[in-house]
Structure 1
Amino acid sequence: MRALCATDLSAASEATIENETCLDCLGRIGVRTIHLVTVVPANVHAGMPGVDFEERRRRGLDRYRSVIEDAGFAVETHVVRGTPYRRLNGLAETVRADLSVVGSRGQSPLENRVIGSTARNLARTTVVPLLVNRVERAADDPDVLREHLFRRILFATDFSEHADRAFDAFSYLRHAAEEATLVHVRSPKDDGSTGGVDPAERLAERANTLEAWGIETQIEVRRGDPAEEILAVEAAVTPSTVLVGSKRRSRIRRLLLGSVSEDVVARATANVFLVPPPRAI
């Protein structure tokens, strides 16, 4: 597997890239090659007096390269220019990445729906599964909040094809997972149709699959606002990562907030592993 790790060479990015436990978790799920990429903003150019951003970023990536190579990965570095989320998506397709990783300082103390703009835009547009890795917010030398990326997974499902695709990620996440909580929220907006099968039974079927892989699993069925209830379960079970699926969105809808997956990405304390629709071939 190939992972694309985005960095702006900040302390928050360094926390993700240089954490040995995080790197070990990526290795356990099958990542063998890491593409380190940093994006130089389009409005910064080589002609600016006294500034050589691209060379400085290459040197920064070289420092990270040695750490990751020592952890047993093959590493390629990329310095690109443009709008960060667009260039990261484009590079993910070019190198055929299996997932992308981006660090996020998490919740703002003033506005709990705000995360970094790059992480937010990637969550809306990502072409490959995206791991939003939470990093301490109010710290000069921050560390990741949940080192064991996939040890305890909270999987949220509405039994849609998007959720089923996210559940399929357990085929590789299971190699680093020990515990899982499966949750379904019956929204007041639901029409009451569950395909003739009780939600608890449907969760139990998925739980049986995980138990057969040696993952200790519990299930929860709740009623209420999906995002609020998922976040309530997260607060109760403190997972390493919340696993959710996302839908393909139009350009106009990408500008809007409000989907359950976006609420979870913006407000969860845990890491979030977001699985998008398959990319076009």
Structure 2
Amino acid sequence: MSDRILVPYDGSPPAKKALEYAFEKFTDPDVTALYVVPVPDGYREAFVETDDRVPIADEEGGRTILEEAADIATERGRELTTELDTGEPNHVIVERAENEEYDTIVIGSHGRAGVSRLLLGSVAENVVRRATVPVVVVR
């Protein structure tokens, strides 16, 4: 099956299911969990210093979420690479998959609850529409 799997991971139940699915359904994959700190288009240009571009709390929260993903992998006796990036989540996910030659994206159908759930649900939809690699959407 696929050798390199990218799993966008935000700590939500669908993201956890997507990570578990990647471990269960793909034979001996190289799995990467990617957390994207949402940064709207144009936000970065407002700052001169790169250190000021992303709130540190968002990065720290992302690292904590990725630690949870690593714990899931450990519980299943699997290896997991974790990465943190910033930007428009659907753009970053699609670009990462294409530029870093992932074979498949495994993504949860919706993200966090409430209003964010609607937005992150649209991330999955946009990834499906724009990706140049196969996308598995897990419910």
TM-score in terms of structure 1 length = 0.38
Moved more, 4-13 or 120-129: 4-13
- The superposition leaves residues 190-221 of structure 1 with CA deviations (integer Å, 9 ceiling, x where unpaired) of xxxxxxxxxxxxxxxxxxxxxxxxxxxxxxxx
- Give the aligned partner of residue 67 of structure 1: 72
Quick one: distance in 2 between partners of 1:117 and 1:128? 18
Deviation at 1:75, TM superposition (A): 1.4
Task: Say which of 119, 122, 128 aligns to 1:117.
Answer: 122
Task: Report what 2:58 is aligned to.
Answer: 53
Aligned to 1:238: none
Q: How does 1:246-257 map to 2 (within 5 A)?
A: none
Distance, in Å, in 1 between the alignment partners of 2:137 and 2:105 is 9
What is the DSSP-based 3-state SS (H/G/I as helix, E as strand, rest coil) of the residue aligned with 1:74? Answer: coil
What is the correspondence of 1:1-281 to structure 2 with a 5 Å cutoff? 1-17=3-19, 19=20, 23-26=23-26, 30-43=27-40, 52-105=57-110, 116-134=121-139
When the two structures are aligned, how many residues end up with a matched partner?
119
The one-letter amino acid of 1:39's match is V
Change (3 A) 1:34 1:130: same
Equivalent position amino acid for 1:79 in 2: L
- Superposed CA offset, 1:51-98 (max 9, x none): 611111112101211321442433111111111111111111233211
Query: Structure 1 residue 38: deviation in Å?
Result: 1.0
Structure 2 counterpart of 1:60, one-letter code: I
**Aligned counterparts of 2:17 and 2:128: Cα–Cα separation in 1:** 20
Q: Equivalents in 2 of 1:51, 1:62: separation in Å?
A: 17
Secondary structure, counterpart of 2:11 in structure 1 = coil
Query: In 2, are the aligned partners of 1:102 and 1:119 still within 8 Å (CA)?
Result: yes
Paired residue type of 1:125:
R
Q: Distance in 1 between matches of 2:67 and 2:13?
A: 16
Residues 98 and 79 (structure 1), Cα distance of their counterparts in 2 relative to 1, 3 Å cut: same
CA contact (8 A) 1:57 1:79 kept: yes
The residue aligned with 2:47 is none
With over 3 angstroms needed to count, the CA separation of the structure-2 counterparts of 1:64 and 1:82, relative to structure 1, is same
Rounded to whole Å, the distance in 2 between the matches of 1:97 and 1:6 is 12
User: Which has more radius of gyration?
Assistant: 1
Q: Which amino acid aligns with 2:100?
A: V
1:9 partner SS: coil
TM-score normalized with structure 2 length: 0.72
Aligned-partner Cα distance in 2 for 1:11–1:74: 20
Identity %: 25
Contact 2:4 2:103 in 1 (8 A): yes
Aligned partner of 1:151 in structure 2 is none
- Shift in Å at residue 10 of structure 1? 2.1
Task: Work out whether residues 11 and 69 of structure 2, in 8 Å CA contact, stay in contact via their aligned partners in 1.
Answer: no
Unaligned ranges ≥5, structure 2? 45-50, 111-119
CA contact (8 A) 1:2 1:31 kept: no
Which one has more relative contact order, counting CA pairs under 8 Å at least 6 apart? 2
